[in-house]
Amino acid sequence: MNKRPGMRIGAAILFGFFGLLFFVLMVRFVTIQVTGEADGKVLAAQAAKKYLKSGVLEAARGTIFDQKGEVIAEDTSAYTLVAILDESVSKDSKEPKHVTDPQKTAEVLSSLLEVDRSSLQDRLSKGIENNLFQVEFGSAGRGISHQMKLQIEKEKLPGITFVKESKRFYPNGIFSSHLIGFAQKEEKEGKTTDIVGKMGIEKSLDKYLTGTDGKVKYDSDKWGYILPQSKEHVTPPHNGSDVYLTIDKKIQTFLEETMSKVDEQYKPEKMLAVVADPKTGKILAMSQRPTFHPDTRDDLMSWQNEIVESSYEPGSTFKSFSLAAAVEEGVFAPGAYYESGKYFVDGNPVPIRDHNGGEGWGSITYLEGVQRSSNVAFAKLMDEIGQERYREYLDKFGFGQLTGIDLPNETAGKILYHYPIEKYTTIFGQGTTVTPLQVIQAETAIANNGKMMKPYVIEKIVDHDTKKIVKQTEPEVAGNPISAETAKKVREYLATTVTSEKGTGQKFAIDGYDVAGKSGTAQIPDEKNGGYQVGKENYLFSFLGMAPADDPQLIVYVAIKKPELKPTEIGSDPVSQVFNPVMLNSLKYLNIKPQETESLKRSKLADVTGESVQKAKKQLEESGLSAVIIGDGQTVTEQSASPGEVLLQGERIVLRTDGNLTIPDMKGWSVRDVLKVTKMANLDLNMVGTGYVTKQNIKPDSTFSESEPLVVTFQSPEQQLNEKKNENETDEEAPLN
């Protein structure tokens, strides 16, 4: 009984304490219910933050296609290699889930990834020492293909895992790399972001190719799983637009394979080539050397698209447009004669010289001057056209102006046209600078009957999701510098540079197709010493051609700078090894059937044996053939070709007469024609060098005996020029053809 009062007091105290606690809790509960806040924070927002999850729906980057829908660049799945180092991840697992043996792991990975083992092991060891949860392996561990991922997984290395990501993939390898460019993951403040275009079309069209990521929001349980019957809020991604180029994968492949072969053989300082459709201005192929692989960026030495962003002195390919101007003005008389060799511009003591050191070929026709690429012929044509009038044609053909092609950083070149000598050298391609695109654009006027077409490479841009065309490029006429009649005549004249035995473009003849074009050997400025560089190889060798000549379907332009030539080779050799197979294969691929050119006239050889020399010579000349007489007799006893044989007009036919044998002047002849004489006269021929005849040991028109030794020296045009150079190198000099 004595204890009961104390118990009552204790119970009362406890009751009061718990009553007060209950009251406080109830007040707190009611306050939270009414205000929805706790400690100044909105509880609904905190719950949403914890249980409302959101994710990113990645947008795909647009695909780049060729004109026929073949993939050039696209997104593909790739993986980043990750090594888990924290031992805690293996705590409740029977098998280890972290790297247990850094040395073995590095050894296996190095053999598969083909990277240095020590660098991998060092990265793993430092990560363990610094108590890092995981490490990556830099560029060696990024962009892992699915096939490589499977190979690594077969090794069952503890702690090795992968993070899936997107990667830009270029399935064709080296494929117009400076045009297409490349895109890659861009890292900012240590965080990987989207794929970004860094060069070429990938960069210039980045705003079209890049998509907009979407989002997804959903309610989850405490483990992050979606709650049943919860509503999802999805903002779908908008994928990047697809780009279709005018490039034709097949033709581009022809070009890449051929250029790689020539690049390996001749090791030039620089190469570039373009294939275009003259009817529309579409660029079907475009490439340069040096180049690079867009996936690895190996050998990426220059970020410049040389075809768009650089200019240079074109050399004699420029004569194509000078010839067109002369024909349009009505001042080109193909059968008229002029004296070749040298031409003096008023006020300039150094003459313009033909490419054989200024020796020339005597009095020849202007057509032969075009065929031989005579600088003097074009200097004289400048007098006929007029300097101011010719300047207008430069503008009409678009030189010194941007073509406006849909590519960045285009340069315009520079027309050097202040002093008289500059005006005269411009007409044959020296001093003034141009771009390959300008050359292609101007050539379309000749190939397309006077209509000059603006070049372009972007066919269309298409919204990937809706398939609607965002942007479409249509063929555009950039001007009409010449008439259709002029264009046709110029094509016929340019075709003879390939078919004529005097033509500088003989190496560019293609079986089954007639080619019209112009070769060029431009001198390279010597930036250190002034003037121009000297030496057999120190030129920009080029050829600008179209086929078929009567109705061109393709234009191909090839330029090669400073190739390594053998003593017996000339600059046209490496250029033709690119031009010929690319043009031939492209024509066949486009199903353009071979046809005999109308301008290539042929004659059937008559039997003139037994005829008098005068009658035989007249008969052959009437057939368009050139008669060469060996012997001082009056009657023809033998002819170099069989009666009835069909020959090209202008071909030499050697006629042997009775009486004493005489030797003709063979200077400038090809090996083929020299062999006709030696075979007919039974001479013992000893040839020195290659190219065209410069010397012969038997004096022309002198008599000789059968089996007498004949020593003939041959030299290429480049060798002739180098041998005859005796002026100061800083003087104005003419380029080779």
Residues with catalytic roles? 316
CB 284 within 8 A of CB 276: yes
Question: What is the C-alpha separation between 652 and 640, in angstroms, rounded?
Answer: 9
Q: How far apart are the first and last CA of the chain?
A: 135
The full DSSP string for 229-248 is TPPPEEE--BPPPEEEES--
CA dist 454 to 276, 437, 441, 457, 460, Å? 11, 9, 6, 10, 16
- Residue entry with tokens 């120190």: 538
Q: Which contiguous run of DSSP H or E holds residue 489? A: helix 484-499
Which residue intervals of 181-248 are DSSP H helices?
Answer: 200-204, 206-209
Cβ burial of 338 (10 Å; 0-12, 13-18, 19+) is: buried
- Taking CB atoms within 8 Å and a gap of at least 24, the contacts of 152-158 are 152/81, 152/109, 152/112, 155/108, 155/112, 157/99, 157/104, 157/105, 157/108, 157/109, 158/95, 158/96, 158/97, 158/98, 158/99, 158/100, 158/101, 158/105
Q: How far is CA 66 from the centre of its chain?
A: 15
Q: What is the largest CA-CA distance in the chain?
A: 172
Beta bridge partners of 693: 714
CB 243 within 8 A of CB 458: yes
Return the beta strands (E) in 433-507 as ranges. 452-453, 458-462, 469-472, 477-479
Cβ burial of 187 (10 Å; 0-12, 13-18, 19+) is: exposed
Question: What is the C-alpha separation between 28 and 68, in angstroms, rounded?
Answer: 72
| Sheet with strand 692-696: strands edge to edge | 684-688, 709-715, 692-696
Question: What is the C-alpha separation between 595 and 585, in angstroms, rounded?
Answer: 15
Question: What is the C-alpha separation between 403 and 411, in angstroms, rounded?
Answer: 9
Which residue intervals of 434-483 are DSSP H helices?
Answer: 436-447
How many residues does this entry show for the chain? Answer: 737
Torsions phi, psi of 24, nearest 5? -60, -45
Question: What is the C-alpha separation between 323 and 327, in angstroms, rounded?
Answer: 6
Return the beta strands (E) in 221-327 as ranges. 233-235, 242-245, 270-276, 283-289
Q: Helix (H, G, I), strand (E, B), or coil: what is residue 39?
A: coil
CB 28 within 8 A of CB 177: no
CA dist 52 to 40, 46, 221, 226, 231, Å? 21, 10, 9, 9, 11
Q: Which contiguous run of DSSP H or E holds residue 619? A: helix 613-622
Q: Which contiguous run of DSSP H or E holds residue 688? A: strand 684-688
Question: What is the C-alpha separation between 351 and 344, in angstroms, rounded?
Answer: 5
